[in-house]
Structure 1
C-alpha cells in the first residue's frame, strides 16, 4: 500500500547505492556461488533481506522463509532451542550448524556486523563444515554486505520519518491534508482512516526496537519465490516479529495493496493509522477484520482528505471502545456499528471526569458484593437480560429460583430500586451497560 519511491531521498545519489536491491541480490548470488549452496540473507530480526536465485538443494525451511519473507516462528523456535541465536550474537566469523535431526539441511552461518552491532546474517546450505576457502568467501561477503545493509537501514528510517509526517498531516484534515495529499499517490477520495492498537494479550516482549529495515512486506504480493526474477530485496513498512502493531500495519498494507493500492500507514504515539482509498468498503472491513492481535477501528468514509480528521476521530473512538470491552465483542468494528456504545463510553468518561459514578445507586450494590463476596449485581444483570424471567435466569446462574428471588429482594433493599417498575428497570439496564464501558 505504501510506496517508498514517493519518498526517495535525493541525497542518496551514490551510483553504487542507486539500486540496493540489485546490489544485495548480486552479492547473494556471488556468496551462493562461493559457498557452494543456496543463500538467504536476513536481518537481525530474522526478516528476509534477499536470497540467491535457484531453488536446487533447498529445504522446507528456506522455502518457507522465502514465502513469508521472514523465518517462520516454528523455525525461529528451533533456532533458539539449538542456541544458534546465541552463537550468532557471540560470533565474528562463520560457523557450521548440522540440523538434519530436525529435518533441516546443514547451514554455514555468517553474522553481518556494522562495527560491534549485529545487523544481519548469511545462511548458506552446505553439505559439510565449510572449508577455509568457503569461510573466507563468507567473511568477504559479509564485509561487502554490511555497508549496504547499514545504508538501507538509514534510508528506511528516513523514509519512515517522512511517511509518519505525511500521515500526521493527513489525519489532521483541513487544508494541510489537502496539500499533503497532492504530493502523494493518494486518490482524491473517498477515503477512510483505520486505527489499530495491540490487544493486551499481544503485548509480549519483542526482539528489540524497530530499526527501520524491511520487516515483512512484499515487493510484489503475487511474487513466486521459485521465479528467479523476483529474487531480491523486500520492501515496505513493518516491524519485528515481536511487535504486533507494526506487524499488523505491514499485514494490512499487503492485504489492501492487492485490491486498493495508494494508501499510507504509520505508527503514531503507540497507535497504528492507515489512510486508505475506499473502493469497496466491505472488502476493506474484511481485510481489517483478518488482522491478528489488534483491536481495529474503521472511521466513516469521507469524500476527500480535507475531512479525514472526522474519520480519524471515529477510528480512534472505535479502538478505545474495543480495547475497553476486551474479549466481550469483535476485535474489529466500523463506527456506524458501534455508535451507541461509543456514545455511552463518552458519557461514562464525562461522568467520571466530573466526579460522578456512572453506576449511580448500583455502585452501592457493587461495593456490597465486593465486601461480602456476594453476586447480587450480577444476579440483577442476568435477571434483566433473561427478560425478567426468574426461572430462566436461575438456570443460567445454576441456582434455585428462590435463591435468585432472595438476591433480587436484597438488591432492591440495598439500592431502593424497584425492578418491577419499567422506568427503574430501564435505568438499571442502561447503568449496567455503562458498567461494562468503565475504565478498569
Structure 2
C-alpha cells in the first residue's frame, strides 16, 4: 500500500488510527446515508451494562494500548470520569476517576505526588506513559492502594482520553486500535488510493463495508449496498462462469466483467487456505494496471487483519480482561491474587505454559500470526474452559490449568498445531511445553520456554520440546547471556590461539574443539580432524607451550570447553 494510504488507514496496517479525514465530494450523500444506516444496526440495541470497571476499560480500549501495571484492589474497581492531570491548573480529582498523567514521568517525584493525591481522593487509577526502554518496577506503587495503568507510546493522549471517555459512557462503542469494526476506514482509504468505489464482502458475499467518495456507482453496486448482499443473479453468474472457483484458487486480484455492469478488480481476503471475504473495486474511465492490482492485494491483506481481529477478540470482554492480566503476569509485573480473581483467571491449582513461534527463516504476515493465535486459542479451548491465549511479538503463549492439560495433552496439542500451521498457513512452527507452575512462576516459565524456542527454532532441538528435553542446552544459553553481560569472563588463553589461527593459518581452535568433542580421546580427535595422531599430539603440545593451557587440569579443561561451546571464540 502507498505511504499516504498507510498514514490514512492506521488501524488496518497495525498502527493506531488517530483520525480519518475524508473529502467525500459531491454526490456522496447516498453512500453516507447507507453507511449510517448500516452502522446504526451495530450501535443500537447494545447491552445496557456499560463498561464501568478498570478491567472492562482495558478490555474495551485494548490491551495493546492500555495495560495494568498494578491493581492492589483488583480490576473490578468502578471507574467514573477520565480526567487529564494538569500540575499547573486546578484539576479536581473525584472518587472513581481515571487520571491521565500527561507530561509526568513515572520515575519523577511529580508522579509520586500525583499517586498520593489520587489515592487520597479515592480515584480508580492513574494512567502514565509507558517508559521507553525501561522495565516497570512495582516497588512503591502498592503504598497508595491505587491502580497504575501503562499507556502505549503509539497513541496520543487526546486519542486515549476520547477512547477511555467513550469506554466509560453508556451504550458506547470505542473505535480503537484493537477494535475490529474499522472496515469502513479501510474502504475509504482504498477508494482514495485506487480511484474507484470499493466494497468489502464476507465470504458469503454479504456487504461488510463500502465507500464511493463521489465516484459513480453502477446498478449492481447500488443493489448490493441497498440489500446488504450481492444480488442472486450476480452470485449465480459468478458461480456458473467459474469466477468463484478462480477466486478460491487465486492469491492475487483478478479482473471480472459482470453482465450489465462495469469491469471490476476483485481480491480474495484470505489467510492461508481460508477465505474470509472479498474486496471489489469498480474500474472507472482509466483501466487498472499492475500497480492497482498490487495495491488491491495489500488492501485485502489489511482487511484480513481486521476480520481476524474481530474473530479473535470479538466482544468477549472477559477474555480480553484475562488477556490483559496474563500480559502483565508474563512481563513479570507480579499481580495480587485479588486481581487474578477479578480478571476471572482460574487460580485453582497449578497452570502450564505452552508457547510457539515460527521456525528460523520463516516470515509471516500480521494476519497469519493472528490466524495462528486464533488456532492456538481454539485448540486450547477444546482441551479446557480455563485456557487463555496471548500473542507477544511473534510468540504465542497459552496458559491452561494442569488438571486439564497434562504434558502428554500439551504435546498432542502441539503436534496438531504444527500440522495445521503447515497445511493451512504453509508455515513451520515450533512449540515448547512448560512445567507445572503457579501464577507467580509464569514469568520464569516464560523465560525458560523462550530459550527452548530459540534453540528449536534454530534447528538445535525437536519441533516439540519441554524444558527438561533441552535442559543442558538451555543452561548453556543462560551461561551465554551471563558471558555477554560480563565480557571479562571471556578473557583467557584462547585469545592467543585465535590470533595465531588468524595470522599464521594454524588450526589450534579447531584442534581443541575436536579434542573436547572426542571426550579427550586423542585417537578419536585425530579421526575427526582427518590428521595423524602424531600431528594431533604435536598441536596439543604447541598449544600448551604457546599459552600455558594445561589440558591435564580438569578445571582448565572445563573453562576452556565452556568458552568454546558458548561460541565466545571464533
TM-score (norm 1): 0.54
Is 1:34 the counterpart of 2:34? The answer is no
2:399 corresponds to: 275
SS in 2 for 1:356: helix
SS in 2 for 1:417: coil
Is 1:293 the counterpart of 2:428? The answer is yes
Provide the C-alpha distance between the structure 2 equivalents of 1:183 and 1:405, rounded to a whole number of angstroms.
Answer: 66
Render the CA deviation track for 1:80-118: whole Å, top value 9, x for unaligned: 6xxxx2x45xx6x6579xxxxxxxxxxx974589xxxxx
Largest Rg, 1 or 2: 2
Deviation at 1:379, TM superposition (A): 2.2
Q: Cα gap change, 1:413/1:181 in structure 2, threshold over 3 Å: closer, same or farther?
A: farther
Q: Cα gap change, 1:31/1:285 in structure 2, threshold over 3 Å: closer, same or farther?
A: same
Render the CA deviation track for 1:342-388: whole Å, top value 9, x for unaligned: 34433332333233143632233234334444432222222222233
Is 1:121 the counterpart of 2:278? The answer is yes
Structure number with the bigger relative contact order (C-alpha 8 A, sep ≥ 6) is 1
Provide the C-alpha distance between the structure 2 equivalents of 1:150 and 1:295, rounded to a whole number of angstroms.
Answer: 23
1:179 corresponds to: 339
Provide the C-alpha distance between the structure 2 equivalents of 1:412 and 1:352, rounded to a whole number of angstroms.
Answer: 27
Deviation at 1:416, TM superposition (A): 1.6
What runs of 5+ residues in structure 2 fail to find an aligned partner? 1-54, 61-170, 175-180, 182-201, 208-227, 270-275, 281-302, 419-426
Deviation at 1:280, TM superposition (A): 1.4
2:437 corresponds to: 302
Is 1:262 the counterpart of 2:367? The answer is no
- Select 1:311's aligned residue among 445, 459, 465: 445
Provide the C-alpha distance between the structure 1 equivalents of 2:464 and 2:472, rounded to a whole number of angstroms.
Answer: 16
- Select 2:460's aligned residue among 328, 337, 352: 328
Is 1:167 the counterpart of 2:326? The answer is yes
Render the CA deviation track for 1:276-335: whole Å, top value 9, x for unaligned: 3332112213433663634544333224x3443332333234335556xx3333344323
The correspondence of residues 133-148 of structure 1 with structure 2, limited to 5 A, is none
Residues 511 and 539 in structure 2, CA contact (< 8 A), matched pair in contact too: yes
SS in 1 for 2:436: coil
Q: Cα gap change, 1:250/1:402 in structure 2, threshold over 3 Å: closer, same or farther?
A: farther
- Select 2:348's aligned residue among 188, 201, 205: 188
2:524 corresponds to: 392
What runs of 5+ residues in structure 1 fail to find an aligned partner? 1-5, 18-22, 41-55, 66-70, 97-107, 114-118, 124-147, 211-238
Provide the C-alpha distance between the structure 1 equivalents of 2:204 and 2:461, rounded to a whole number of angstroms.
Answer: 46
Q: What is the aligned length?
A: 311
Residues 298 and 314 in structure 1, CA contact (< 8 A), matched pair in contact too: no
Provide the C-alpha distance between the structure 2 equivalents of 1:177 and 1:439, rounded to a whole number of angstroms.
Answer: 47
Q: Cα gap change, 1:376/1:165 in structure 2, threshold over 3 Å: closer, same or farther?
A: same
2:537 corresponds to: 405
SS in 1 for 2:206: helix
Provide the C-alpha distance between the structure 2 equivalents of 1:248 and 1:186, rounded to a whole number of angstroms.
Answer: 24
Greater helix proportion? 1
Q: Cα gap change, 1:402/1:321 in structure 2, threshold over 3 Å: closer, same or farther?
A: same
Provide the C-alpha distance between the structure 1 equivalents of 2:236 and 2:547, rounded to a whole number of angstroms.
Answer: 77
Q: After the TM superposition, which segments of 4 or more aligned residues of structure 1 sit over 6 Å from their partners?
A: 6-10, 56-62, 148-151
Provide the C-alpha distance between the structure 2 equivalents of 1:408 and 1:386, rounded to a whole number of angstroms.
Answer: 14
Q: Cα gap change, 1:200/1:27 in structure 2, threshold over 3 Å: closer, same or farther?
A: same
TM-score (norm 2): 0.43
Is 1:200 the counterpart of 2:335? The answer is no
SS in 2 for 1:328: coil
Provide the C-alpha distance between the structure 2 equivalents of 1:95 and 1:373, rounded to a whole number of angstroms.
Answer: 72
- Select 1:253's aligned residue among 363, 366, 377: 377
Provide the C-alpha distance between the structure 1 equivalents of 2:358 and 2:342, rounded to a whole number of angstroms.
Answer: 31
Provide the C-alpha distance between the structure 2 equivalents of 1:354 and 1:302, rounded to a whole number of angstroms.
Answer: 30
Q: Cα gap change, 1:327/1:176 in structure 2, threshold over 3 Å: closer, same or farther?
A: same
Is 1:381 the counterpart of 2:516? The answer is no
Residues 170 and 181 in structure 1, CA contact (< 8 A), matched pair in contact too: no
